[in-house]
Structure 1
Amino acid sequence: MSWLLVLPIAIPFVTAVAAFLMRADAAGRWISVVGSAAALVAAVALMQEVLAQDVISAQMGGWPAPFGITLVADLLAAVMVLITAIIGLAVAIYALADIEPRLERLGFHALYQVLLAGVTGAFLTGDLFNLYVWFEVMLIASFGLLVLGGRPEQIDGGVKYVALNLVSTLLFLTAIGVLYGVTGTLNMADLAQATDRLDPALLTLISMLFMIAFGIKASVFPLFFWLPASYHTPAFAVSAVFAGLLTKVGVYALIRTFTLIFDHDTGTTHTLLLWVAGLTMLTGVLGAAAQNEMRKILSFHIISQIGYMIMGLALLTPLALAGAVFYIVHHIIVKANLFLIAGVAQRLTGGEALNRIGGLYKSAPLLAVLFIVPAFSLAGFPPLSGFWAKFVLVRAALGIDAWVIAGVALVVGLLTIYSMTKIWAAAFWEPHPDGLAPTLDRLDGRARAAFLLPIAGLAALTVAIGLFPEPFVVFAERSAEQLLDPSSYVTAVLGAGDAPAGGVE
């Protein structure tokens, strides 16, 4: 069974090595696509096993938990690995046309696969120190992708990106050190038991350190400034995978630790998280409304939508957590797709500033339709996936009389419509200011296929989730039940007997 947990991590690393060795040849890009497809197959196999058993775990190197390296997958981890693989394959195909040969020779495909390995490893690790290791793998690979090409704006964005993420790393390491000092363990299943014997005030203080560290990674208020300063600078394929996956690792870490380890003082921590959620939604959507470039608008909307996910964690009811899980999956698909579409729009119109583009509805109606699907889903239009994600979260808030956060969520949805309408009017409806006719015929057949295949596939997935939401909602509810009752997670890692609890007696 351990191979099911290892393969989704090992395949991208092997692909990265092969792609790097072939970086000077056209075969390198196809190695990336084939490796991404293989990772998707492995992710599907892992999901099938988790659906059958609820939680699976493996101990690396033969060391028993909590002393060795643990890999573990419950329903939340499995779906995050699966959606990572889906986005990984979509962006790898898109990169066939988006990434210049010069960037391929500099190692784009190797860095891209290392990034996917880091993201997957973060979802599957059962140990806080190894979560830090996977964060660093992600940071190194993402910084390389961010500055690849060396344009001044890339360097500027990259410095801001790394500087604030290094602050997060230092806080994370500090929190890990303090937590290990008082518990004697960093295995998350073991910590679920060990923290029950700690002084609640001390544990609340430690949890705040983790909240800030993961909050920077997730780009929540007021720790989000690195994201809009950097996500609009690299190649569109890079922006898309960043937008879809990177902040979600921070959200995942918050959900995992604050349901498994720091579940002792929900009055303090989750009240704070609720304020953070509301302010993140509002500042993100207002920032988007003030922008005049496609990727900058979409970057601020990442921040806004993160607020909905944190809202589900903060409310901490079964329905709210189910809404958070549903929202994460929906948002990864939709947001990555919007950045992919923005790349095609830029290629056809020659720019990103809204006052310098236009004419896409008349000249490229297929692209217009493909934009409407994720844009309307992001805004919460029925019957698309975003409607059901928002509906579940708002219903959860109203169910416990959290009227204010429910109202904020609805208002932010309306403001999201404004931003999406602004992009639609400028890029698609109004004529191009220079009289150009930005048709898809401007792309050769290979480029059209590489661009449109992943965009259409992700749009179809968004529609499918919206039209048939029941199995996805049921899955999210099962995942929420596991998060609120982590006994099966702990048992899968430590065993059914009296599990050790680190150095605490």
Structure 2
Amino acid sequence: MNALIIAPILIPLATLVLTLLARRHGRLATFFSLAGAAALAAVGLALVVFAAEGRILASQAGSWAAPYGISVVIDRLSAAMVAITGIIGLATVVFALARDDDPARSRGFHPLVHGLLVGVCGAFITGDVFNLYVWFEVLLVGSFALLVLGGGKRRLSGTVVYVVLNLVATMMFLLAAGMLYGASGSLNMALLAQAFAAGEVPATANAAIVLMLTAFSIKAALFPVFGWLPASYHVAWTPISALFAGLLTKVGVYALIRIVTLFWPDAGIAHDVLLWVACATMLIGVLGAAAQVEVRRILSFHIVSQVGYMILGLALATPLALAGAVFYLIHHIVVKANLFFIGGIAARLTGSERLAAMGGLYAHAPWLAILFAIPALSLAGIPPLSGFWAKFVLVKASLDASAWIAAAVALVTGIFTLLSMSKIWNEAFLKPHPAGGISARSAAGLRPALWAVSALAAMTVAIGLGAGPVMDYAVAAADQLAAPQAYIQAVVAAGGR
């Protein structure tokens, strides 16, 4: 069981080493990369099966009791996040098999992708604040290298913005961790949750949590510190930007959910602030998308607006709202990664990402039109796709909590999202191509990309049509978040206390 708990870290780490050793042998490196991503997805799904039974898996490094041993904890939420990380990682590696001439297709791609997955999975399963900081550092190093991979002035400028703001957030996180340790004498999340619940922490500990949540807000691209995301994600190679779009901001959202539900579970001023931040994030993000004229910049602003929905669920802090946030996380990771994949394919076929220079895709590639429509309509919340159920639950939770303004903002954001998706549809798919047609050669070698896109589109449909079991799992995950005693007991028991 301990091997299964630590497998989400060991598998991508071993894959990183193998792909690095085989980097001069392209096919072998690709084989190791595919096998590692598939193994991570399989382990994630196995963890979901265990977590669905209500079990919380916990382990301490060296069997040392907390806070001396490093805690690794897997509950329903972290198991789901590991599984979806493996799935998106596998889709990214498969998509990258498609032939193109992007200079980012280099020997460093596969090791860096799995290095990023190490950091992401580590952040999802750690039970220690300092080690959460360490895993953030690991994923940031991988993301910095991946973002600039292939070079070029455009990528370099986008990377500078990304690096500066994320380093600021990282320094804030480190300072907050130091303050929290000085105030409490521990950084183990379970023991800290006990201390906060008993009122045994000084005011400086609460100040540290405020600083920590601010750092996570930057990493999650919440209002008003979201500008780094649309300035950077659209410049990367398509598989890389899709991986970022699906996972990176969700690590920040996950950290916000984990810290708030453990340390500040009761509704208070922090939840009120988060509610207004969520509303502003939804509106500003979707309005920013409406002003863009490039596909991936539109989609980047929609990441911002959709993160607002997740934080809305956290801010309301009711069991139904938390369930909606969990469901939204699962839905959005799949949908957003897929839209970035499709945006890259559309740009390759038409020769541009600017809407004015695109067109003719419906006539030339009707299969791509169908594959775009599924995640686009899901993002906008059209039934019976996954996005409809995610938005429905959060709007209902808002109305139940008498948060009328939040419910209205969520509905208006959904309408504007549909308008943005319609703009892409009209410009890229329906109107004729300005140059008179699309070259058949532009579609050469795209089959692996279509496999990845089709699989994620099928997942979106499956989550929508099978929303009942997914929602049951999300509700059970929300129950664990709302009542963290089982989480705390699992960590304490794992240390032999």
Match of 1:373 in 2: 374
Comparing 6-15 with 333-342, greater Cα deviation is found at 6-15
- What is the DSSP-based 3-state SS (H/G/I as helix, E as strand, rest coil) of the residue aligned with 1:57? strand
Alignment of 1:109-148 (within 5 A): 109-148=110-149
Match of 1:107 in 2: 108
Q: 1:24 touches 1:105 (CA, 8 Å); kept in 2?
A: no
How far residue 50 of structure 1 moved from its aligned partner, in angstroms, is 1.9
Q: 1:283 touches 1:304 (CA, 8 Å); kept in 2?
A: yes
How far residue 263 of structure 1 moved from its aligned partner, in angstroms, is 2.8
CA deviations on 1:242-276 (whole Å, 9 max, x unpaired) are 00000000000000000012335x32100000010
User: 1:239 & 1:423 partners in 2: Cα distance?
Assistant: 18
Match of 2:16 in 1: 16
How far residue 290 of structure 1 moved from its aligned partner, in angstroms, is 0.2
Structure 2 CA distance for partners of 1:398 and 1:173, relative to 1, 3 Å: same
Pairing 1:76–2:74 present:
no
User: 1:383 & 1:101 partners in 2: Cα distance?
Assistant: 37
Structure 1 residue corresponding to 2:465, chosen from 461, 464, 467: 467
How far residue 373 of structure 1 moved from its aligned partner, in angstroms, is 0.1
Comparing 191-200 with 390-399, greater Cα deviation is found at 191-200
Aligned-pair Cα RMSD in Å? 1.6
- What is the DSSP-based 3-state SS (H/G/I as helix, E as strand, rest coil) of the residue aligned with 1:409? helix
- Identify unmatched segments of 5+ residues in structure 2: none
- What is the DSSP-based 3-state SS (H/G/I as helix, E as strand, rest coil) of the residue aligned with 1:231? helix
How far residue 497 of structure 1 moved from its aligned partner, in angstroms, is 11
Letter in 2 for 1:435: G
> What's the TM-score, normalizing by structure 1?
0.95
Q: 1:383 touches 1:467 (CA, 8 Å); kept in 2?
A: yes
Match of 2:443 in 1: 443
Structure 2 CA distance for partners of 1:98 and 1:62, relative to 1, 3 Å: farther
Structure 2 CA distance for partners of 1:268 and 1:203, relative to 1, 3 Å: farther
- Identify unmatched segments of 5+ residues in structure 1: 500-505
Alignment of 1:262-411 (within 5 A): 262-263=264-265, 266-411=267-412
How far residue 202 of structure 1 moved from its aligned partner, in angstroms, is 4.1
Match of 1:456 in 2: 454
- What is the DSSP-based 3-state SS (H/G/I as helix, E as strand, rest coil) of the residue aligned with 1:477? helix
User: 1:158 & 1:94 partners in 2: Cα distance?
Assistant: 23
How far residue 442 of structure 1 moved from its aligned partner, in angstroms, is 3.8
- What is the DSSP-based 3-state SS (H/G/I as helix, E as strand, rest coil) of the residue aligned with 2:53? helix
User: 2:391 & 2:439 partners in 1: Cα distance?
Assistant: 35
Q: 1:98 touches 1:235 (CA, 8 Å); kept in 2?
A: no
Structure 2 CA distance for partners of 1:469 and 1:99, relative to 1, 3 Å: same
How far residue 61 of structure 1 moved from its aligned partner, in angstroms, is 2.2
Structure 2 CA distance for partners of 1:287 and 1:180, relative to 1, 3 Å: same
Q: 2:250 touches 2:329 (CA, 8 Å); kept in 1?
A: yes
Match of 2:7 in 1: 7
User: 2:400 & 2:466 partners in 1: Cα distance?
Assistant: 24
Comparing 61-70 with 392-401, greater Cα deviation is found at 61-70
Structure 2 CA distance for partners of 1:179 and 1:404, relative to 1, 3 Å: same
How far residue 53 of structure 1 moved from its aligned partner, in angstroms, is 4.4
User: 1:173 & 1:497 partners in 2: Cα distance?
Assistant: 26
User: 2:453 & 2:335 partners in 1: Cα distance?
Assistant: 10
Match of 1:36 in 2: 37
- What is the DSSP-based 3-state SS (H/G/I as helix, E as strand, rest coil) of the residue aligned with 2:8? helix
- What is the DSSP-based 3-state SS (H/G/I as helix, E as strand, rest coil) of the residue aligned with 2:59? strand
User: 2:109 & 2:496 partners in 1: Cα distance?
Assistant: 48
Q: 2:162 touches 2:232 (CA, 8 Å); kept in 1?
A: yes
User: 1:497 & 1:346 partners in 2: Cα distance?
Assistant: 53
How far residue 222 of structure 1 moved from its aligned partner, in angstroms, is 0.4
Q: 2:12 touches 2:115 (CA, 8 Å); kept in 1?
A: yes
Match of 2:236 in 1: 234
Q: 2:275 touches 2:312 (CA, 8 Å); kept in 1?
A: yes
Q: 2:123 touches 2:135 (CA, 8 Å); kept in 1?
A: yes
CA deviations on 1:63-107 (whole Å, 9 max, x unpaired) are 222211111000000000000011010111001115658544441
Q: 1:99 touches 1:235 (CA, 8 Å); kept in 2?
A: no
Q: 1:359 touches 1:438 (CA, 8 Å); kept in 2?
A: no
How far residue 314 of structure 1 moved from its aligned partner, in angstroms, is 0.2
Q: 1:350 touches 1:357 (CA, 8 Å); kept in 2?
A: yes
Q: 2:42 touches 2:83 (CA, 8 Å); kept in 1?
A: no
Letter in 2 for 1:305: Q
Q: 1:17 touches 1:110 (CA, 8 Å); kept in 2?
A: yes
- What is the DSSP-based 3-state SS (H/G/I as helix, E as strand, rest coil) of the residue aligned with 1:416? helix
- What is the DSSP-based 3-state SS (H/G/I as helix, E as strand, rest coil) of the residue aligned with 1:495? helix
> What's the TM-score, normalizing by structure 2?
0.97
Q: 1:244 touches 1:335 (CA, 8 Å); kept in 2?
A: yes
Match of 1:503 in 2: none
Letter in 1 for 2:262: L
User: 1:107 & 1:188 partners in 2: Cα distance?
Assistant: 35
Q: 1:106 touches 1:148 (CA, 8 Å); kept in 2?
A: no
% identity of equivalent residues: 55
Pairing 1:421–2:422 present:
yes
- What is the DSSP-based 3-state SS (H/G/I as helix, E as strand, rest coil) of the residue aligned with 2:253? helix
Letter in 1 for 2:428: A
Structure 2 residue corresponding to 1:252, chosen from 251, 254, 261: 254
User: 2:326 & 2:15 partners in 1: Cα distance?
Assistant: 29
- What is the DSSP-based 3-state SS (H/G/I as helix, E as strand, rest coil) of the residue aligned with 2:225? coil
Letter in 2 for 1:481: D
- What is the DSSP-based 3-state SS (H/G/I as helix, E as strand, rest coil) of the residue aligned with 1:96? coil
Letter in 2 for 1:375: A
